Amino acid sequence: MVMAALNFAALKYSVEISYHHLEPGHTHNEGDSIHATIERHDRHQEIYTKVEYLERLRTAKQEPPPHRVSDMSQEMIYDLKSLVKKQTWAKDLNNQQIKWSKVRAIEVDPTKTGMFFKNQYDDDFTALKTNAKKGHPVNVAMYPLTPAYTALIKLRPLKQKHLCQLCTKGAIPEKYHPFYQQLIATSPRMRLQRYRSKRLN
Protein backbone atom coordinates (compact mmCIF):
# COMPACT_ATOMS: atom_id res chain seq x y z
CA MET A 1 0.00 0.00 0.00
CA VAL A 2 2.80 2.43 0.89
CA MET A 3 4.68 1.57 -2.29
CA ALA A 4 1.57 2.19 -4.40
CA ALA A 5 1.06 5.57 -2.69
CA LEU A 6 4.68 6.62 -3.29
CA ASN A 7 4.54 5.52 -6.91
CA PHE A 8 1.25 7.33 -7.54
CA ALA A 9 2.42 10.59 -5.89
CA ALA A 10 5.73 10.64 -7.79
CA LEU A 11 4.16 10.02 -11.20
CA LYS A 12 1.06 12.13 -10.64
CA TYR A 13 2.93 15.24 -9.48
CA SER A 14 6.27 14.64 -11.27
CA VAL A 15 8.38 14.63 -8.10
CA GLU A 16 11.26 12.39 -7.10
CA ILE A 17 10.67 10.55 -3.82
CA SER A 18 13.28 8.83 -1.66
CA TYR A 19 12.10 6.65 1.21
CA HIS A 20 14.61 5.27 3.73
CA HIS A 21 14.34 2.80 6.59
CA LEU A 22 16.67 3.20 9.56
CA GLU A 23 19.36 0.63 10.15
CA PRO A 24 18.72 -1.73 13.09
CA GLY A 25 20.41 -0.32 16.18
CA HIS A 26 20.43 3.20 14.74
CA THR A 27 16.79 4.12 15.13
CA HIS A 28 17.09 7.77 16.17
CA ASN A 29 14.24 9.50 14.44
CA GLU A 30 13.19 13.14 14.40
CA GLY A 31 9.61 11.91 14.76
CA ASP A 32 10.47 10.45 18.18
CA SER A 33 11.63 13.88 19.34
CA ILE A 34 8.44 15.50 18.06
CA HIS A 35 6.24 13.00 19.87
CA ALA A 36 8.22 13.47 23.09
CA THR A 37 7.76 17.24 22.86
CA ILE A 38 4.01 16.86 22.36
CA GLU A 39 3.70 14.41 25.27
CA ARG A 40 5.51 16.79 27.65
CA HIS A 41 3.37 19.71 26.49
CA ASP A 42 0.08 17.82 26.89
CA ARG A 43 0.90 16.11 30.19
CA HIS A 44 -1.77 16.76 32.85
CA GLN A 45 -3.85 18.75 30.34
CA GLU A 46 -7.57 18.11 29.83
CA ILE A 47 -8.46 17.90 26.14
CA TYR A 48 -12.06 17.21 25.11
CA THR A 49 -12.29 18.04 21.39
CA LYS A 50 -10.25 17.69 18.21
CA VAL A 51 -9.97 21.48 17.89
CA GLU A 52 -8.34 21.69 21.31
CA TYR A 53 -5.95 18.85 20.48
CA LEU A 54 -4.89 20.49 17.21
CA GLU A 55 -4.13 23.71 19.07
CA ARG A 56 -2.03 21.82 21.62
CA LEU A 57 -0.08 20.22 18.77
CA ARG A 58 0.61 23.60 17.16
CA THR A 59 1.86 25.17 20.39
CA ALA A 60 3.85 22.18 21.70
CA LYS A 61 7.17 23.41 20.34
CA GLN A 62 8.30 26.57 22.11
CA GLU A 63 11.16 27.59 19.82
CA PRO A 64 10.63 28.38 16.10
CA PRO A 65 9.75 27.02 13.71
CA PRO A 66 6.51 25.63 15.21
CA HIS A 67 5.12 22.24 14.30
CA ARG A 68 3.10 22.31 11.09
CA VAL A 69 -0.22 20.57 11.73
CA SER A 70 -2.61 19.55 8.95
CA ASP A 71 -6.26 19.01 9.79
CA MET A 72 -7.39 15.95 7.82
CA SER A 73 -10.93 15.15 6.74
CA GLN A 74 -12.48 11.99 5.32
CA GLU A 75 -12.60 13.55 1.85
CA MET A 76 -8.78 13.64 1.85
CA ILE A 77 -8.42 9.87 2.35
CA TYR A 78 -8.43 7.64 -0.75
CA ASP A 79 -8.69 3.91 -1.33
CA LEU A 80 -5.53 2.54 -2.97
CA LYS A 81 -6.48 -1.13 -2.79
CA SER A 82 -7.64 -1.33 -6.40
CA LEU A 83 -4.37 0.23 -7.62
CA VAL A 84 -2.34 -2.22 -5.53
CA LYS A 85 -4.24 -5.19 -6.94
CA LYS A 86 -3.68 -4.12 -10.54
CA GLN A 87 0.12 -4.28 -10.23
CA THR A 88 2.73 -6.79 -9.11
CA TRP A 89 4.90 -6.00 -6.09
CA ALA A 90 6.64 -9.31 -5.46
CA LYS A 91 9.58 -9.41 -7.90
CA ASP A 92 12.29 -7.20 -9.37
CA LEU A 93 13.15 -6.90 -13.07
CA ASN A 94 15.52 -9.84 -12.69
CA ASN A 95 12.50 -11.90 -11.62
CA GLN A 96 13.95 -12.27 -8.11
CA GLN A 97 11.60 -12.37 -5.13
CA ILE A 98 11.67 -9.17 -3.05
CA LYS A 99 11.92 -9.54 0.72
CA TRP A 100 10.28 -6.30 1.80
CA SER A 101 11.41 -6.71 5.42
CA LYS A 102 15.01 -6.47 4.16
CA VAL A 103 14.51 -3.34 2.02
CA ARG A 104 16.34 -0.28 3.35
CA ALA A 105 15.77 2.35 0.66
CA ILE A 106 13.21 3.05 -2.05
CA GLU A 107 13.36 5.61 -4.82
CA VAL A 108 10.70 6.69 -7.28
CA ASP A 109 11.88 8.79 -10.20
CA PRO A 110 9.20 9.93 -12.69
CA THR A 111 11.86 10.60 -15.35
CA LYS A 112 12.88 6.94 -15.23
CA THR A 113 9.28 5.70 -15.01
CA GLY A 114 9.89 3.16 -12.33
CA MET A 115 10.52 2.27 -8.71
CA PHE A 116 13.91 1.22 -7.37
CA PHE A 117 14.98 -0.38 -4.11
CA LYS A 118 18.04 -1.70 -2.30
CA ASN A 119 18.54 -3.92 0.73
CA GLN A 120 21.74 -2.22 1.91
CA TYR A 121 22.70 1.42 1.65
CA ASP A 122 25.98 0.44 -0.05
CA ASP A 123 24.13 -1.53 -2.74
CA ASP A 124 23.10 -0.24 -6.15
CA PHE A 125 19.41 0.34 -6.74
CA THR A 126 17.44 -2.49 -8.35
CA ALA A 127 14.34 -1.82 -10.45
CA LEU A 128 11.01 -3.08 -9.15
CA LYS A 129 8.75 -4.96 -11.53
CA THR A 130 5.36 -3.24 -11.24
CA ASN A 131 3.79 -4.39 -14.48
CA ALA A 132 0.06 -4.91 -14.64
CA LYS A 133 -1.08 -8.37 -13.58
CA LYS A 134 -3.42 -8.65 -16.56
CA GLY A 135 -4.05 -6.68 -19.72
CA HIS A 136 -2.50 -3.33 -20.59
CA PRO A 137 -0.03 -1.54 -18.27
CA VAL A 138 -1.64 0.74 -15.70
CA ASN A 139 -1.31 4.49 -16.31
CA VAL A 140 -0.58 5.28 -12.67
CA ALA A 141 -0.41 9.07 -13.11
CA MET A 142 -3.93 9.13 -14.58
CA TYR A 143 -5.42 6.44 -12.36
CA PRO A 144 -8.74 7.65 -10.86
CA LEU A 145 -8.63 7.30 -7.09
CA THR A 146 -11.87 6.74 -5.22
CA PRO A 147 -12.64 8.07 -1.72
CA ALA A 148 -12.05 5.54 1.05
CA TYR A 149 -15.32 6.53 2.73
CA THR A 150 -18.68 7.36 1.20
CA ALA A 151 -20.33 8.40 4.47
CA LEU A 152 -19.37 9.60 7.94
CA ILE A 153 -17.65 6.95 10.03
CA LYS A 154 -20.08 5.87 12.74
CA LEU A 155 -19.04 5.23 16.30
CA ARG A 156 -19.37 1.70 17.60
CA PRO A 157 -22.33 1.12 19.95
CA LEU A 158 -20.08 0.54 22.96
CA LYS A 159 -18.19 3.78 22.29
CA GLN A 160 -21.49 5.64 21.97
CA LYS A 161 -22.63 4.21 25.28
CA HIS A 162 -19.44 5.24 27.06
CA LEU A 163 -19.61 8.79 25.71
CA CYS A 164 -23.21 9.09 26.89
CA GLN A 165 -22.16 7.92 30.35
CA LEU A 166 -19.28 10.40 30.52
CA CYS A 167 -21.66 13.24 29.64
CA THR A 168 -24.42 12.24 32.05
CA LYS A 169 -21.96 11.77 34.92
CA GLY A 170 -20.36 15.16 34.31
CA ALA A 171 -16.93 13.74 33.47
CA ILE A 172 -17.17 15.74 30.24
CA PRO A 173 -18.02 19.41 31.00
CA GLU A 174 -21.43 20.50 29.77
CA LYS A 175 -20.06 23.13 27.40
CA TYR A 176 -18.59 20.29 25.31
CA HIS A 177 -21.82 18.29 25.16
CA PRO A 178 -22.97 19.72 21.77
CA PHE A 179 -19.81 18.29 20.20
CA TYR A 180 -20.55 14.83 21.58
CA GLN A 181 -24.25 15.10 20.80
CA GLN A 182 -23.28 15.59 17.17
CA LEU A 183 -21.18 12.41 17.28
CA ILE A 184 -23.95 10.44 18.96
CA ALA A 185 -26.46 11.73 16.40
CA THR A 186 -24.90 9.42 13.80
CA SER A 187 -26.02 6.45 15.91
CA PRO A 188 -29.54 5.03 16.33
CA ARG A 189 -32.02 7.66 17.51
CA MET A 190 -32.84 5.65 20.65
CA ARG A 191 -29.38 6.23 22.08
CA LEU A 192 -29.54 9.99 21.50
CA GLN A 193 -32.98 10.21 23.15
CA ARG A 194 -31.72 8.16 26.10
CA TYR A 195 -28.83 10.60 26.56
CA ARG A 196 -31.14 13.63 26.45
CA SER A 197 -33.70 12.16 28.83
CA LYS A 198 -31.02 11.48 31.45
CA ARG A 199 -29.75 15.06 31.19
CA LEU A 200 -33.29 16.40 31.79
CA ASN A 201 -33.88 14.27 34.91
Q: What are phi and psi of 124, to 5 degrees?
A: -85, 155
Alpha-carbon distance of 41 to 139, in angstroms, equals 46
Mean pLDDT of 97-111: 87
Domain hosting residue 67, numbered range: 2-147
Answer whether 0.85 is exceeded by the pTM: no
Tell me: do 130 and 193 sit in the same domain: no
Tell me: do 115 and 21 sit in the same domain: yes
Element (H, E) at 6: helix 2-13
Domain count, the chain: 2
Q: Could you write out the DSSP letters of every residue in 53-80? A: HHHHHHTS--SSSPPP-----GGG-EE-
List pLDDT tens digits, range 41-58.
888 889 999 889 898 888
Tell me: do 45 and 123 sit in the same domain: yes
* Residue 152 maps to a domain: no
